[in-house]
Amino acid sequence: MSAFEKYMTRKVETRAACERYNGASIALDNARIHERLAEMLSQHEPLCALKDAKLTERSKLYAAAYYVVHGRMPSIVATKKME
């Protein structure tokens, strides 16, 4: 096998490894999303407290989305509860 053929073979192997890596990365992201959704389903209190909070509808939606992404309520909810 010539040096060029070895190079082409290694290039194909590298491309295949990259595809496997990207596939595993996507699977990991999906697993984290599913884990986070399951965690949220098991925790009733944080999201239920938003219903009674004295916030605009937009602020409630923002707080819920923030909780989904970060796993905690934004500071605006904490300050409004104290008022």
31-54 pLDDT tens trace: 988 888 888 778 777 778 888 888
Q: Give pLDDT, residue 81.
A: 52
Rounded Cα distance between 37 and 7, Å, is 45
CA distance to 24, 36, 68, per residue, from 27 (Å) = 5, 14, 19
Phi-psi label, residue 56: left if phi above 0, alpha if psi -120 to 50, beta otherwise: beta
Rounded Cα distance between 63 and 80, Å, is 12
Q: What is the band of 18 on the pLDDT scale with cuts at 50, 70, 90?
A: very high
Is the model's pLDDT at 65 over the cut of 80? yes
pTM score of the predicted model: 0.57
